[in-house]
C-alpha cells in the first residue's frame, strides 16, 4: 500500500495500539533542557527510578542562560538554580550534558543537527515546541509537555494518536531577497496560525528541494506556528551530505546500512493526504509580521490589513493586535521605525544565517539609534563565525555578537526588549510580551532584519542588494 513519509516512520515506531485509544510510540532520541525537565526528574526521583535509556537522551542548557559572560556564575538566582538542577539531574541519571562552557553547548534544535544526532527516520521529542525543526531531516520530531518528558525518561515511549496528514507544495524559483523564512511566513499568512493544527505537515516541491539543510530547518521549525504536530521534509542527497562526517553520524558499514534505509524515506507517488496546499515560489516577496501571531504577516511592500482585507482567521483579533503593536490598519509597514534587531533563535541562528547577514552588511554600518544583537545558535556556530571572520564584520557594522542561547526569542534571561519598543526579529513568535512585557515584535528573515539594522526602519532588502 502506498504510504506517506510520515506513515513509514510512524508505523516502524509503534509498539502497540490501545483499543480505541492512542498508540505506544517508541522515541529514538530525547533532547532535554533546563526549563521543562526539572519537574520530570522530580517525578522519577519520587518513584525511585532512573532514566531508562540515558544514552538516547541529550541535554543542554539554552532557554535560561545569559548570552554575555557565560564563564561567570549566573547572576539571577532562579535561573542559576534551574541550570544547577539540570547539572545535578543529568549527573545522577547518567545523561550526557552539553552545559555552559561545553564546546557543544547551544540551542537544543541547533546542536542536535550539527552534531549529527538528528538523522532521517527517527522519532525525536523535546519539551519544546520547536522540536519540529528536526523534521527537516525526514524524522518525526515534535514538542511535548513536561509530563510527557517524564514518560520518555521513564520508558522511552509516549502515548500518541496518529495525526492527520497534510502536504504543502512550494514550486518554482525564489525571487531575489527571498529566503526560507519568507517561505514559511508566507505559508503562515495563507493558512493561519491554526491552519495545520491536528496535522503532520510534509513540505514538498522544487522550492523546498532546492533549499540547504539550514534553510529547511527554518521551515520545519515554524510548522508548529501553523499548529502542526510536526513538519517533515523527505531526506535526499542534501540531507545525506550534511550528516556525513558529523560527530555522531554513523561511519563505515553502519553508514552504508543507514543510507540504504534513509533512501526509502519518501512519500510514495500515490499516497494520500487529508489536505494539500499548492503555492508558487514566484508569489513570495520578503515577508514581515505586523500583528501578534505568526500568521499575521505581509509582504514588505504591502499595507497592514484592514477588517475588509484581512483573512477570516485574524479578523476578530486585528484591532487588539494593532493596538498592542501601535500600528495602523491600512498603513504601509515599510518605513516603520525599529529600535532593536535580534538575529538568533532556533529558527535563524545557524552558521548559514550568520553568513547571510555578514555577506549583506559587510562594509555597512548600523543606524545610530538601533541596537543589534546577534546570538549564535551554538558554541560551534560561534567558533565557526569567528574562524571565518564574521565576528569582525559584525563588529565593524556595530552589531554585538553575544554567546549562544535562546535569548531574546522568549526573553527568559535578561535579553528582553523594553516595553513599547519595536524589535525586528528572526525568531518564531510575535506574541504579546514574547520578547519582554510590552515588547513589539516584527518577525522577518535574517536578510530583512539586517536591512532594518542598517536603515533603522523596516526596509525592502531588495533595494539594498546589488
CA 36 to each of CA 27, 60, 143, 158, 445: distance values in angstroms, whole numbers, following the listed order? 18, 12, 11, 16, 28
**Of 339 and 432, which CB lies nearer to other proteins in the complex structure?**
432
Q: Cβ atoms within 10 A of the Cβ of 466, count?
A: 2
Asked if residue 161 binds other proteins (CB under 8 A), the reply is yes
Binding residue (CB under 8 A) for other proteins from 172, 317, 398, 456: 317
The H or E element that residue 254 is part of is helix 252-262
CA 381 to each of CA 279, 378, 391: distance values in angstroms, whole numbers, following the listed order? 32, 5, 11
Q: Which three cell numbers mark 220?
A: 520545519
Q: Give the 3-state secondary structure of residue 419.
A: coil
Least spacing, CB of residue 203 vs other proteins, in Å: 18
Q: Which three cell numbers mark 197?
A: 493544527
**Of 155 and 329, which CB lies nearer to other proteins in the complex structure?**
155
| Distance from C-alpha of 119 to C-alpha of 281, rounded to nearest angstrom | 28
Check residue 138 and report its DSSP letter: S
Asked if residue 64 binds other proteins (CB under 8 A), the reply is yes
Asked if residue 155 binds other proteins (CB under 8 A), the reply is yes
Least spacing, CB of residue 154 vs other proteins, in Å: 6
Asked if residue 143 binds other proteins (CB under 8 A), the reply is yes
Please give the size of the binding site for other proteins, defined by CB under 8 A.
65
**Of 146 and 210, which CB lies nearer to other proteins in the complex structure?**
146
Sign of CA pseudo-dihedral 232, 234, 237, 241: positive
Q: Mask 13-42, x = binds other proteins (CB under 8 A)?
A: --xx-xxxxx-x-x--------xx-xx--x
Binding residue (CB under 8 A) for other proteins from 60, 79, 239, 267: 79
Which residues are registered as beta bridge partners of 200? 165, 230
Asked if residue 177 binds other proteins (CB under 8 A), the reply is no
Asked if residue 154 binds other proteins (CB under 8 A), the reply is yes
**Of 28 and 285, which CB lies nearer to other proteins in the complex structure?**
28
Q: Which three cell numbers mark 150?
A: 517524564
Least spacing, CB of residue 36 vs other proteins, in Å: 7
Binding residue (CB under 8 A) for other proteins from 147, 241, 306, 328: 147
- Footprint on residues 383-442 left by other proteins (CB under 8 A): 410-412, 429, 431-434, 437-438
Asked if residue 309 binds other proteins (CB under 8 A), the reply is no
Determine contact, residues 189/297, Cβ cutoff 8 Å.
yes
- Using the structure block, give the residue that is written with the C-alpha cell 517525578: 43
Number of Cα atoms under 13 Å in the Cβ half of residue 457: 10
Number of Cα atoms under 13 Å in the Cβ half of residue 213: 25
Binding site for other proteins (CB under 8 A): 15-16, 18-22, 24, 26, 35-36, 38-39, 42-43, 47, 63-64, 78-79, 81-82, 85, 127-129, 143-148, 150-151, 154-159, 161, 163, 193-194, 197-198, 224-225, 227, 229, 293, 313, 316-317, 320, 410-412, 429, 431-434, 437-438
Amino acid at each position: 500500500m502506498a504510504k506517506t513519509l510520515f506513515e513509514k516512520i510512524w508505523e516502524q515506531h509503534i509498539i502497540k495500539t490501545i483499543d480505541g485509544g492512542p498508540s505506544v510510540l517508541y522515541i529514538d532520541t530525547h533532547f532535554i533542557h533546563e526549563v521543562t525537565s526539572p519537574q520530570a526528574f522530580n517525578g522519577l526521583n519520587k518513584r525511585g527510578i532512573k532514566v531508562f535509556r540515558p544514552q538516547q537522551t541529550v541535554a543542554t542548557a539554552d532557554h535560561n542562560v545569559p548570552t554575555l559572560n557565560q564563564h561567570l556564575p549566573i547572576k539571577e538566582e532562579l535561573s542559576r538554580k534551574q541550570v544547577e538542577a539540570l547539572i545535578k539531574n543529568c549527573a545522577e541519571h547518567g545523561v550526557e550534558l552539553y552545559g555552559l562552557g561545553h564546546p557543544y553547548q547551544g540551542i537544543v534544535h541547533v546542536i542536535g543537527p550539527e552534531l549529527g544526532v538528528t538523522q532521517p527516520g527517527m522519532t525525536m521529542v523535546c519539551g519544546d515546541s520547536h522540536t519540529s525543526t528536526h523534521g527537516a531531516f525526514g524524522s518525526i520530531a515534535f514538542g511535548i509537555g513536561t509530563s510527557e518528558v517524564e514518560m520518555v525518561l521513564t520508558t522511552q515511549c509516549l502515548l500518541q494518536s496518529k495525526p492527520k496528514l497534510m502536504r504543502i507544495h512550494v514550486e518554482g524559483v525564489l525571487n531575489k531577497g527571498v529566503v526560507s523564512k519568507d517561505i514559511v511566513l508566507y505559508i503562515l499568512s495563507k493558512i493561519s496560525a491554526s491552519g495545520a493544527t491536528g496535522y503532520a505537515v510534509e513540505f514538498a516541491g522544487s522550492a523546498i528541494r532546492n533549499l540547504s539543510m539550514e534553510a529547511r530547518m527554518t521551515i520545519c521549525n515554524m510548522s508548529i506556528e501553523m499548529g502542526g504536530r510536526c513538519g517533515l521534509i523527505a531526506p535526499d542527497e542534501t540531507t545525506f551530505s550534511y550528516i556525513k562526517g558529523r560527530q555522531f553520524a554513523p561511519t563505515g558499514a553502519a553508514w552504508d546500512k543507514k543510507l540504504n534505509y534513509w533512501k526509502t524515506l519518501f512519500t510514495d507517488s500515490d499516497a494520500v493526504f487529508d489536505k494539500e496546499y499548492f503555492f508558487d515560489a514566484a508569489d513570495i516577496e520578503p515577508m514581515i509580521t505586523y500583528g501578534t501571531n505568526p500568521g499575521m504577516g505581509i509582504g514588505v511592500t504591502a499595507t497592514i490589513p484592514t477588517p475588509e482585507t484581512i483573512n477570516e482567521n485574524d479578523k476578530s483579533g486585528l484591532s487588539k493586535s494593532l493596538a498592542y503593536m501601535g500600528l495602523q490598519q491600512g498603513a504601509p509597514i515599510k518605513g516603520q521605525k525599529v529600535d532593536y534587531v535580534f538575529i538568533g533563535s532556533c529558527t535563524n541562528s545557524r552558521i548559514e544565517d550568520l553568513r547571510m547577514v555578514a555577506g549583506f552588511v559587510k562594509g555597512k554600518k548600523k543606524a545610530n539609534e538601533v541596537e543589534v544583537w546577534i546570538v549564535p545558535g551554538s558554541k560551534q556556530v560561534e567558533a565557526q563565525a569567528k574562524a571565518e571572520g564574521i565576528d569582525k564584520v559584525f563588529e565593524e557594522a556595530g552589531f554585538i555578537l553575544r554567546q549562544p542561547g535562546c535569548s531574546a526569542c522568549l526573553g527568559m534571561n535578561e535579553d528582553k526588549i523594553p516595553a513599547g519598543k519595536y524589535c525586528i526579529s528572526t525568531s518564531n513568535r510575535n506574541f504579546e510580551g514574547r520578547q519582554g512585557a510590552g515588547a513589539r515584535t516584527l518577525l522577518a528573515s535574517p536578510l530583512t532584519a539586517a536591512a532594518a539594522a542598517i536603515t533603522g526602519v523596516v526596509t525592502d532588502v531588495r533595494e539594498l542588494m546589488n
